[in-house]
Structure 1
Amino acid sequence: MEATGTEEVDKLKTKFISAWNNMKYNENKLLHARSGCTIEDHVIAGNVEEFRKDFISRIWLTYREEFPSIEGSALTTDCGWGCTLRTGQMLLAQGLILHFLGRAWTWPDALNIDNSDSESWTSHTVKKFTASFEASLSGERELKTPTISLKETIGRYSDDHEMQNEIYHRKIISWFGDSPLALFGLHQLIKYGKKSGKKAGDWYGPAVVAHILRKAVEEARHPELQGITIYVAQDCTVYSSDVIDKQCASMAPDITDDKAVIILVPVRLGGERTNIDYLEFVKTFHCPSPKKMSFRKMDPSCTIGFYCRNVQDFKRASEEITKMLKVFSKEKYPLFTFVNGHSRDYDFTSTTTNEEDLFSEDEKKRLKRFSTEEFVLL
């Protein structure tokens, strides 16, 4: 009964926010009608629609139910415990969108969704939506949902580039399917989590999830994923030479291009609550969205992610981020740092792994240290 009451409260909040936004934007339209539309008015109105399209285009991965049971358990849902794993999936999905499609890409069908509010997306709807995406790639069955039929969707595109983008979009989503075979699906992530003492039903902290994502990408053998890697910072420190080494490493002798990298930095923004000294800096990474939360309510343990397309992009990003760290960091305690050289130059134990043990002893110690982080923002 308590959970049902909470759900009703959440639904009421969502309806209230939607009503407020409708009143707010309708009021703007009335003001424009009275005062006359200017070029600036059109730009602002266009920005709202562009933002909405961009926001809906972000891949949304959340609690699911009735998927195949997770190995070693009878669980067929991650409701109540998979929040950080899902958030980690979304972070990785966004990195892959940037890698394959670029930042300017938006989903052509984003504004065709009848109702983009979360309350309209029931678990049944989400299951049908995801299953249709997977089936469109595998050709296992005919799709009954015309709005996401691959053949019909591709038929609307005017050039090969748009068609190729849609194929990549669907392929990325299929990698996160709730299936034991999906490369970055919940089943695979939990399998890697077992190496750090985690199991299905446990709460996963952001540092643990960061290492799980790194291992999942490293173990992926899909040809199109060989051009991207993940680096996880050690003790809030990004060692530039370690990052570049990962970018320049290649599994195939004929590949000479440097890899793209997703840099994950597990940090703590305070003890039990977020330290207010970090708020201004954290805001520089916060993309305003239709729904938000107070920084004071945010769990202080989190992971910050960056995407760099190549070595040159990484060097440029590290310089710019370092400048921001200096500006926003009070006293001499930045949120994290970029350091030249390798971690071994500073007497850190190497984090190399072998096939028999996916996590090194050093990684296991760090993951154990972060094992108490629960219900966190990635």
Structure 2
Amino acid sequence: NVFSEFLEDLPDTNEPVWILGECYNVKTEKSELLSDVHSKLWFTYRKKFSPIGGTGPSSDTGWGCMLRCGQMILAQALVCQHLGREWRWVAEGPQPTEYQRILHCFLDRKDSCYSIHQMAQMGVGEGKSVGEWYGPNTVAQVLKKLALFDDWNSLAVYVSMDNTVVIEDISKFFYLSCCCCCFCTDYKMYVQSLSSARSLAHSDREAVLPGGMAQFSLLYVKFNHHMECISSDSDYFLFKECFKMPQSCGVLGGKPNLAYYFIGFIDDELIYLDPHTTQLAVDSETGTPVHDQSYHCQRSPHRMKITSLEPSVALGFFCRSEEDFDGWCSQVQQELVRKRNLRLFELVEKHPPHWPPFVPPTKPDVQTTGAEFIESTDKLFESEEEFEILNV
């Protein structure tokens, strides 16, 4: 059973291990590798939290795994924003104030910005009943909406649509110094000139929003064929290269109704955090430290063969600055296009004329949390195409 293999059981191999842009040697850097993995915030099923919506479920066991994976990929972006990619968690040790504030964003309570309560109730606006299983696109749309109410992080979430990234839309949505690129693919798409795309972002300097927002991008990939039919020397190469990028926040995917958060790979195996463990809910008053032991997977994470992955996944990247964006573009150009002459995704300069007009979302003029204003926020997104791409 590929799902029972643990990271600590890695063979004595010369193959490098890649974890979200960091490379490790199993023979000489195993402790550093495990420290990096254990530092990732781990969100799982919880029970005995306050009922969602006052009368709804008090546990997300059996239906909340993709929501928990969405929390993990966003939390990684927040860690990179406030603590840096090099930050490491130490059990029982003192933690930065920013770390505690990040945890408070995800506590299982109705007033936490990215709590299971907020995500489940905001999902109603995406056509999902509270307690219904989500796919990655629904989670992305929910996070995009909730980010509008997150004043502390000032995080802009861009979700690519229809396997296409439109630079013109991004330039309207984000401040130039935090501009980033995102993409979708079915392995038959093509990449237009990255240099011209970047030139467009620079030329549209006056059209972008002020404020210096950092950007988190959720990017969808849907393979044309089952992964078992794809050559590991070609198509797999492209997918694994994404984990090497320093902007990587990981991948959402798994199997029907069974979601995992993928954070790296070794050879032909993916490394992932599994949300399918039910723990008691942890509560903490605002401004008080969170008991965080259960938010880090201190046992070894799992590995699985890349051929076992369902063909639909969501990629996440975080760019702090224009330099990050430029670096991402360069790596895409060099690694994903030039070396193998393969096309992983489509990046276009102009908004496709047959698409509905792009309207940058703005925060409603209210002082409240997002889930309480589902109806008002829906009006901001009704022009966007919505689709579910995970086979369920």
Structure 1 pair 233–181 and aligned structure 2 pair: CA distance change class (3 A): same
Task: Give the counterpart letter for 2:336 in structure 1.
Answer: L
Q: Is the 8 A contact 2:43 2:69 kept in 1?
A: yes
Structure 2 residue aligned with 1:232:
159
Distance between the aligned counterparts of 2:223 and 2:128, measured in 1? 24
Bigger RCO (CA 8 Å, 6+ sep): 2
Q: Does 1:336 align with 2:345?
A: yes
Structure 1 residue aligned with 2:110:
180
Distance between the aligned counterparts of 1:319 and 1:348, measured in 2? 30
Q: Does 1:167 align with 2:100?
A: no
Distance between the aligned counterparts of 2:339 and 2:145, measured in 1? 32
Task: Give the counterpart letter for 1:282 in structure 2.
Answer: F
More strand by share: 2
Structure 2 residue aligned with 1:197:
127
Structure 2 residue aligned with 1:140:
none
Segments of structure 2 that go 5 or more residues without pairing to the other structure are 14-24, 178-208, 244-263, 266-270, 272-300, 365-375
Task: Give the counterpart letter for 1:311 in structure 2.
Answer: E
SS in 2 for 1:180: coil
Q: Does 1:61 align with 2:15?
A: no
Q: Is the 8 A contact 1:329 1:335 kept in 2?
A: no
Structure 1 pair 234–75 and aligned structure 2 pair: CA distance change class (3 A): same
Decide which of 166, 170, 174 is 1:247's aligned counterpart.
Answer: 174
Q: Does 1:361 align with 2:374?
A: no
Q: Does 1:320 align with 2:331?
A: yes
Deviation at residue 225 of structure 1 after TM alignment: 1.4
Q: Name the % identity.
A: 26
Structure 1 pair 169–19 and aligned structure 2 pair: CA distance change class (3 A): closer
1:136-164 Cα offsets, whole Å, 9 max, x none, are xxxxxxxxxxx3xxxxx44xxxxxxxxxx
Structure 1 pair 279–200 and aligned structure 2 pair: CA distance change class (3 A): same
Deviation at residue 312 of structure 1 after TM alignment: 3.4
Distance between the aligned counterparts of 1:85 and 1:261, measured in 2? 20
Q: Is the 8 A contact 2:157 2:217 kept in 1?
A: yes
Structure 1 residue aligned with 2:81:
99
SS in 2 for 1:195: helix
Q: Which has the larger radius of gyration?
A: 1
Deviation at residue 77 of structure 1 after TM alignment: 1.4
Distance between the aligned counterparts of 2:8 and 2:361, measured in 1? 53
Distance between the aligned counterparts of 1:328 and 1:72, measured in 2? 55
Deviation at residue 197 of structure 1 after TM alignment: 0.7
SS in 2 for 1:105: coil
Structure 2 residue aligned with 1:213:
143
SS in 2 for 1:285: helix
- Aligned-residue CA RMSD in angstroms? 3.3
1:329-359 Cα offsets, whole Å, 9 max, x none, are 776xx33222224x26675432445752435
SS in 2 for 1:266: strand
Structure 1 pair 246–275 and aligned structure 2 pair: CA distance change class (3 A): farther
SS in 2 for 1:71: helix
Equivalent positions of 1:31-42 (< 5 A) are none
Segments of structure 1 that go 5 or more residues without pairing to the other structure are 1-8, 28-42, 110-146, 148-152, 155-164
Distance between the aligned counterparts of 1:103 and 1:291, measured in 2? 22
Decide which of 57, 70, 87 is 2:52's aligned counterpart.
Answer: 70
Q: Does 1:262 align with 2:216?
A: yes
Deviation at residue 245 of structure 1 after TM alignment: 2.9
Distance between the aligned counterparts of 1:46 and 1:340, measured in 2? 45
Q: Does 1:373 align with 2:390?
A: yes
Distance between the aligned counterparts of 1:298 and 1:268, measured in 2? 11
Task: Give the counterpart letter for 2:127 in structure 1.
Answer: G
Task: Give the counterpart letter for 2:382 in structure 1.
Answer: E
What TM-score comes out, normalization by structure 1 length?
A: 0.65
Deviation at residue 265 of structure 1 after TM alignment: 1.0
1:15-60 Cα offsets, whole Å, 9 max, x none, are xx58955xx67x9xxxxxxxxxxxxxxx865511111111100000
